[in-house]
Amino acid sequence: MLPNKQLYQQINGSTRWKYGVPMRRNSAITPVLCACLLFLLVVLGSRSGVAAAPDPTEQLRPFLAKVTAALSDPGLKRMTKQQQCDRMIGVIRERFDFQEMSKRVLGQQWRNLADKEQQEFELLFTQLLQYAYVGKVDDYSGQQVQFIQQRIRGDRAEVQTQLVDRNKSIPISYIMLLRNDQWMVYDVVAEGVSLVRNYMEQFSEILRKDGYPGLVKQLKGKIAELEKNFNKS
């Protein structure tokens, strides 16, 4: 049924026809409807953004597979200790945020450092970890990683795993920070012991007694000692 011709042609009246439906010119429904649509767009947009966020476990899984593959490589055993360290730290850098780790182990002191000092400390701390942990590649004997669960809170996540051996399982949690679209590890908790907290407590004591220059001096001395032992291997 077509609308009344007189209503259809009434331009300045209180009622207009559009697509065969009568609409009030000054209807109060229009702004309310617009507000509801805007609200829905905001809500749906935010939900789609959350849904599109990367999954920390799915990013960590291939990384740990790459680490275990590198450790299982027979060619690694034929390298010198220094070469082994360089090879493994290159792999680990792909998913570990050493700057964030350095920042957290220093705490308040980090903000007091100039950019050049921060870069120096990050380099020293990375070298310390490289020799203290990464260099122990001979300790790996085919242990497998099992993924247990993950917890996400904003831009922080914890991925709980177990390192499974024939005789025992070691719980290891990876604490991660979202950088753009990448989950980066900044702490490792093994059997309830946080790597970052462990070093933070040690460094806090040194900072209290000897200040930052004293900490740097001790780090350089420890790195030189570990490097010397590596060259003997």
Residue 73: per-residue pLDDT? 92
Residues 87-96 have a mean pLDDT of 94
Asked if pLDDT for residue 24 goes beyond 60, the answer is no
Segment 152-179 shows an average pLDDT of: 95
Q: Is the pLDDT of residue 98 over 50?
A: yes
CA angle 98, 65, 158 (to 5 degrees): 55
Of 8-17, 86-95, 138-147, 187-196, the poorest mean pLDDT is in 8-17
User: What CA–CA distance (Å, rounded) separates 218 from 148?
Assistant: 38
Rounded to an integer, what distance in angstroms lies between the CA atom of residue 233 and that of residue 227? 10
Q: How far apart are CA 10 and CA 112, in angstroms?
A: 74
On the question of pLDDT at 95 being above 80, the answer is yes
What is the pLDDT of the chain when averaged over all its residues? Answer: 82
H and E: helices and strands count for the chain: 9, 7
Predicted confidence at residue 157, as pLDDT, reads: 98
**What is the rounded distance in angstroms from the CA atom of residue 179 to the CA atom of residue 97?**
10
What is the predicted pLDDT for the residue at 12? 44
Measured in whole angstroms, the distance separating CA 107 from the mean position of its chain's CA atoms is: 18
**What does the DSSP 8-state code read for residue 138?**
G
Amino acid at 199: Y
Tell me: pLDDT of 185 over 60: yes
Range with top average pLDDT, 34-48, 132-146, 167-181: 167-181
Residue 207: CB partners within 8 Å, gap ≥ 6? Answer: 109, 214, 215
Find where tokens 């719980």 sit.
171
**Model pTM above 0.85:** no
| Residue 110 burial (CB count, 10 A) | 16
The residue-averaged pLDDT of 139-149 equals 91
The pLDDT, as a whole number, for residue 111 is: 96
Which CATH number is correct for 56-232, 2.40.30.10, 3.40.50.720, 3.40.50.150, 3.10.450.710? 3.10.450.710
Whether the predicted pLDDT of 38 surpasses 70: no
| Structural domain spans, the chain | 5-51, 56-232
Tokens of 114: 């100039």
